[in-house]
Amino acid sequence: MKTGIREMAEGIFMITLPMPFRLKHVNIFLFLEKDGFTLIDTGPNLNGVLPALEASLAEIGRRVEDCRRIWITHFHMDHCGLAGIIAGRSGASVYLSEIEELTVRTFAREEDRASRIRCFAREQGLDGGTIDTVIRTFSAFRTATSPFSAAGFLTDGDRLTVGGRRVEVIATPGHSRGHISFHLPEERFLIAGDHILPHITPNLSPDLIAPDFHPLESFLSSLSRVGDLPVRRVCPAHGRPFSDLKGRISEMREHHRERSERALRALAEGPRNCGEVSRFIFGENLSPFDRLLALNETYVHLIRLERETLICREKRNGVCLFSRSRSSSAGSP
Ligand SMILES: [Zn+2]
């Protein structure tokens, strides 16, 4: 997908910024106002991204210094990495959901993040070498998020006005616990962040500071929350805008249904830990970072199956083992 800026409706722009990862780009959104502009998301603080943003702004005669407000869909580096730098240069106020802000504060200390990841991954059967590599990867990208502090919070149901346009905030937890999307009822746009993507299903991971959060259940109910909106354009953070919201939602539901079935099948021959189930689902040949993503994704399926009492877990030698409960084993091949 080409980087650069394009007008989606009068005064509303999508800016596609480069990213040095498999997801080669990220889309952010800009609303023109009389005295500057508001951004939804910022892109990561990685080499070349700020100059790309500056070049796109120059095309519409604006500069970073003209930014008045930044709204953040969720606290992932590709969405908010430049927030601190842009706010520093422009004086813009940064807003996000209260839950995401709690994550910002909790993970302000690198050691906290590392020890939580280590503890979770070990308990779920990931080997020590992979865990070390993953933690090193996280630290290497620490500067990809420039620090910022929130001027206030965005809450489900908030009705905002920006550049004369109405924008409604919709809480869409799942991909992250405090993820929000933005609905523009007049344009019938849904600025969906990572909640709904056209070609991949957003990664679902446990929230290591909120063990009671159930990402898969939340994600599926967040799909229902937006599914009936009269949207004619879904504007995702990765990939091109598209129109068939309902069709895409059905595909994602089906994807997760199949994955849950596969997780259950992985337990057909006896108890396994989450790492083993993830190898059954995703195969062996993954990089350490993808290994963690696979572990996370598998885990959210396992805890849902556990809540449905189809499987149960026990802990042996510090590692969680999952097995089918009697009701799910009976009658299955
Ligand atoms: Zn994300």
The Cα–Cα gap between 53 and 18 comes to 9
Residue 169 has a pLDDT of 98
Distances (CA, A) of 104 to 49, 101, 143, 146: 21, 5, 14, 11
What domains sit in the chain, N to C, each tagged with a CATH number? 4-107+147-243 (3.60.15.10), 110-140+266-326 (1.10.10)
Give the chain's mean pLDDT. Answer: 94
Q: Which segment of 107-116, 177-186, 222-231, 239-248 scores lowest on mean pLDDT? A: 107-116
Cα(74) to ligand 1 centroid in Å equals 7
Question: What mean pLDDT do residues 84-90 have?
Answer: 98
Q: What is the pLDDT of residues 142-159, one digit of tens each?
A: 889 999 999 999 999 999
Query: What local confidence, expressed as pLDDT, does residue 333 receive?
Result: 42
**d(CA 206, ligand 1 centre) in Å:** 13
How far, in Å, is the centroid of ligand 1 from the Cα of 64? 23
Span 168-198, pLDDT tens digits? 999 999 999 999 999 999 999 999 999 999 9
Q: What is the pLDDT of residue 22?
A: 77
Residue 139: what pLDDT?
84
* Angle at alpha carbon of residue 284, lines to 282 and 290, rounded to 5°: 65
* Model pTM score: 0.94
Task: Tell me what pLDDT residue 328 has.
Answer: 58
Which residue is listed with tokens 């396992």? Answer: 302
d(CA 29, CA 236) in angstroms, rounded, equals: 10
CA 194 to centroid of ligand 1, rounded, Å: 5
Ligand 1 centroid from CA 101, angstroms: 15
How far is it, in rounded angstroms, from Cα 14 to Cα 1?
13
In the prediction, which pLDDT does 20 show?
A: 79
Token output for 227: 């599914």
Percent of the chain whose pLDDT exceeds 70: 98
| Average pLDDT of span 272-277 | 98
Residue 272: is its pLDDT beyond 70?
Answer: yes
Confidence of residue 329 (pLDDT cuts 50, 70, 90): low
Q: For residue 212, how far is its CA from the centre of ligand 1 (angstroms)? A: 20
Mean pLDDT over 270-294 rounds to: 95
pLDDT computed for residue 112 by the predictor: 80
Distance from residue 47's CA to the centre of ligand 1 (Å):
19
pLDDT tier for residue 327 given thresholds of 50, 70 and 90: low
Give pLDDT, residue 331: 44
Residue 321 CA to ligand 1 centre (angstroms): 29
Q: Please list the residues that pair with 122 across neighbouring strands.
A: none
Residue 250 has what pLDDT? Answer: 97
Query: CA nearest 162: which of 59, 65, 74, 30?
Result: 30
The CA 326 to ligand 1 mean position distance, Å, reads 37
Average pLDDT over residues 288-309: 95
Cα torsion for 190, 194, 200, 203, to the nearest 10°? -150
Structure confidence at residue 332 as a pLDDT band (50, 70, 90)? very low
Residue 313 — very low, low, confident or very high, per pLDDT cuts 50/70/90?
very high
Q: Report, as an integer, the average pLDDT of 281-291.
A: 93
